[in-house]
Amino acid sequence: MLIKKPQAMKIMFKNMDPIKKAEEYIEKRLRKTNRILKNVLKFEIEIDLDKKGKYRVELMVKTPYALYRSENISESIEGSADIACDELYAQIAKDKGKLIDLKRRGARSLKKKIVIDGNARVKK
């Protein structure tokens, strides 16, 4: 496989036969997402073919603190996978950015509350 698999990676094909090439392509696209997430509990990938001949790709990533989901419908598996993976990556990056900002704000507020002894900086 192209990415380090988490404990559970479930790939489901509905209304179609499993396609190894599509599975490998989606895993390749998820490598970027897997890099910024440290501990992923479960990946769920669902590929569905409707009666009109369009493919629906749904991606779900479960982590200990959040659940990320993305879905797209288009005429090719690769196109749906590209857009769904990009949406998923954007969700994860936004959430990770919020966590980093909260940590920085907390550190700033702690620095403001620290009181330095006035005699500590006096030259003698």
Domain span at residue 22 reads: 8-114
SS3 84: helix
Q: Which residue has the higher pLDDT, 25 or 110?
A: 25
- Is the predicted pLDDT of residue 89 greater than 50, yes or no? yes
Would you say residue 94 lies in a domain?
yes
Q: What average pLDDT does range 17-38 have in this prediction?
A: 84
- Give the model's pLDDT for residue 91: 93
113 pLDDT band, cuts 50/70/90, is confident
Would you say residue 2 lies in a domain?
no
In total, how many domains does the chain have? 1
How many CB atoms lie under 10 A from the CB of residue 52?
7
74 neighbors 56 (Cβ within 8 angstroms)? no
The CATH number of whichever domain residue 68 belongs to comes to 3.30.160.100
- Is the predicted pLDDT of residue 64 greater than 90, yes or no? no
- Is the predicted pLDDT of residue 2 greater than 50, yes or no? no
Would you say residue 122 lies in a domain?
no
Would you say residue 3 lies in a domain?
no
pTM: 0.74
